[in-house]
Structure 1
Amino acid sequence: MAIKNRLFDGMVVFFHVVKSGSFTSAADITGHSTSYISKEVNKLEARLGIRLLHRTTRSLSLTQEGELYFQLCQQIIEDAEQAENAIVGNQLEPSGKLRISCPISYGLSNLSPVLSQFTEKHQKVQLELELNDRKVDLISDGFDLVIRATVQLEDSSLISRRITQSEALVLASPSYLAKHGMPEHPYDLTRHKIITYSNSKQPNVWLFRDNNGAAVQVNVESHVLTNNASLEIALGVAGQGIIRVPRFALKDEIETGALVEVFSDWPKPAIGVYMVYPSRKHMSAKVRSFIDFIIETLGD
């Protein structure tokens, strides 16, 4: 047990000697005297039974064994620092770059009106917001957090928290319905011009449930295929076809009569809006502050 209690003796001192390049600099960094630093390294070498450093009056250099030991010490010290940061992270003031990805329509309609409150409250956070309808890879693309709107999240090792729930609406303009007629049943969509969303898993498969809960699957043909909900809405208002978009993507198109709901008596599929973030990293103060802010301002 005595040997185990001495495992870390001299390790941090040796690390700073190598990093700074001299005993004097290591003494300044650690707040000890140069003689103390020298004695700690000597004791470490004696305990290990190997020479770690070649010393001359003008320079220091690592032995082959010293190079290996330094690399191992560096990893141990960095791991210890990460463990400490994980514990105290929630107590630190939020700061640094915060990279977030969000669907365009939700970002413009819901997120943008409240972001100034967040940046005013957390002025040390540099917010980097990417509005993009494609499904980004949170880890490989380097995001701290992504916002996703979907009927069902895919299973993963990531953590998700729901912000709110919207619903998918089938819509068309009065001019389109006057020309082509109002569909009475989802199967009627096969005879209509349909504007579809390319980022859906199956853009040409529209799923419904009747009032008894029975599933109805309709294979539609794309008149226009796009990856942007705002363009879908614009084309719908222009009478170019029938669209299906989340309610949060709309402004006042229904209220003004620019778009009319189709199948209004059918149950509407729920679309959850979620924040997704890594579970493998500790929760930094900047991420925690953003999650809390969004739940407070936009949450159900």
Structure 2
Amino acid sequence: MANNKLFDGITVFVQVVKCGGFGAAAEVTGHSNSYVSKEITKLESRLGVRLLNRTTRSIALTPEGKTYYQECVQLISDAEQAIANITQSTVEPKGTLKVSCPVWFGKHYLADVFTTYLSRYPEVTLDLDMSDKPIDVIADGYDLVIRATAKLDDSSLICKRIYRSRICTVATKQYLKDHGYPQHPSELSAHSCFCYTNLKKFNMWEYLDKAGNKTLVEVQQRVLSNNTEMSLELVTKGLGIIRVPEFYIETQLQSGDLTLLFDDYIFPEIDVYALYPTRKHVTSKVRFFFEVLDKLLINKNRSLDHDVF
């Protein structure tokens, strides 16, 4: 026999977590504080586990509560999408699209995408996090996360490759004039190098020649930073050598402000991915965002074999 109380309290529980407290959740849902509190207590009693640790000033998810919350968020999303499919409300996306993307890539490659998307769909609000920090897509409530990586970690998330770029080692002519032009990657150990600390082995730079021989160099770390834009600013002042995806430096390479090193080596490639929770019920907000993304960005990077929804 079906459990008639299977979904009781779930929406209230999710709202309490999102709002960060019973009072705020009561205000959003239009119920009293006591009603919200009783719903959570009944839900915990029915499940036989504590979902929230409560103090007079705050609440916090228990380990069981965190797992249950993630499942409930997905359950509500699926239910909303099912209703949207039936009512055909997917024709015009509405609500908040929560996106996280790297600062540089977002600023220089996605600004037109965001502009076109928002202009085309005025009922959508964009909640944009410009950051390179690790994101828990589901727990943090993101619809979409964009990240650049040479190797995508195993994940239950759906990934769509949206851009590809080679990784380049560069410096200014003035730096090379003052400190010498390295003819072989092994010579980098004698140079001032700028390292990106979000990489696991940020001070180990690997090179592959066209004969298939690998060279692994432990570089001298002149500057450590988690912000590539700042590091590039310093490199363009002639302070050292940096290794970055080409999309960061296309303009400087074309103008000659930066010089490409080791161009007789095989360039490794880095991919930019859009990650999202599920393909089963892709929301209209995400679906229409990808349509704009596909037209303005992916089609310009034709080396990709991209998905079709």
Q: Same fold (TM over 0.5)?
A: yes
Aligned to 2:83: 85
Aligned to 2:117: 118
Deviation at 1:293, TM superposition (A): 1.5
**1:288 partner amino acid:** R
Q: Does the C-alpha gap of structure 1 residues 287 and 171 become closer, same or farther in structure 2, counting only changes over 3 Å? A: same
Answer yes or no: is the 8 Å Cα contact 1:86–1:283 preserved in 2.
no
Aligned to 1:177: 176
Q: Does the C-alpha gap of structure 1 residues 295 and 280 become closer, same or farther in structure 2, counting only changes over 3 Å? A: closer
- For the aligned residue pairs, the C-alpha RMSD in angstroms reads 2.9
Deviation at 1:90, TM superposition (A): 7.9
Deviation at 1:272, TM superposition (A): 0.6
Aligned to 1:149: 148
Deviation at 1:142, TM superposition (A): 2.0
TM-score (norm. length: structure 1): 0.71
Answer yes or no: is the 8 Å Cα contact 2:167–2:244 preserved in 1.
yes
Answer yes or no: is the 8 Å Cα contact 1:168–1:245 preserved in 2.
yes
* Larger Rg over CA atoms: 1
Aligned to 1:33: none
Identity between Structure 1 and Structure 2 (%)? 37
Q: Does the C-alpha gap of structure 1 residues 81 and 269 become closer, same or farther in structure 2, counting only changes over 3 Å? A: closer
C-alpha separation between the residues in 2 aligned to 1:122 and 1:103? Answer: 23
Aligned to 1:273: 272
Structure 1: unaligned runs, 5 residues or longer: 16-66
Deviates more, 1:135-144 or 1:265-274: 135-144
C-alpha separation between the residues in 2 aligned to 1:249 and 1:203? Answer: 17
Aligned to 2:93: 94
Residue 163, structure 1, aligned to residue 172, structure 2: no
Answer yes or no: is the 8 Å Cα contact 1:168–1:269 preserved in 2.
yes
Q: Does the C-alpha gap of structure 1 residues 78 and 123 become closer, same or farther in structure 2, counting only changes over 3 Å? A: closer
C-alpha separation between the residues in 2 aligned to 1:254 and 1:270? Answer: 17
Structure 2: unaligned runs, 5 residues or longer: 9-41, 48-71, 302-309
Deviation at 1:291, TM superposition (A): 1.7
How many corresponding residue pairs?
235
Superposition pairs for residues 18-29 of structure 1, below 5 Å? none
C-alpha separation between the residues in 2 aligned to 1:265 and 1:225? Answer: 27
**2:288 partner amino acid:** S
Deviation at 1:226, TM superposition (A): 0.7
**1:246 partner amino acid:** P
C-alpha separation between the residues in 1 aligned to 2:225 and 2:89? Answer: 41
TM-score (norm. length: structure 2): 0.69
C-alpha separation between the residues in 2 aligned to 1:231 and 1:84? Answer: 45
Answer yes or no: is the 8 Å Cα contact 2:78–2:281 preserved in 1.
no
C-alpha separation between the residues in 1 aligned to 2:77 and 2:104? Answer: 40
Aligned to 2:296: 297
Superposition pairs for residues 157-236 of structure 1, below 5 Å? 157-236=156-235
Answer yes or no: is the 8 Å Cα contact 1:86–1:282 preserved in 2.
no
Aligned to 1:255: 254
C-alpha separation between the residues in 2 aligned to 1:156 and 1:78? Answer: 22
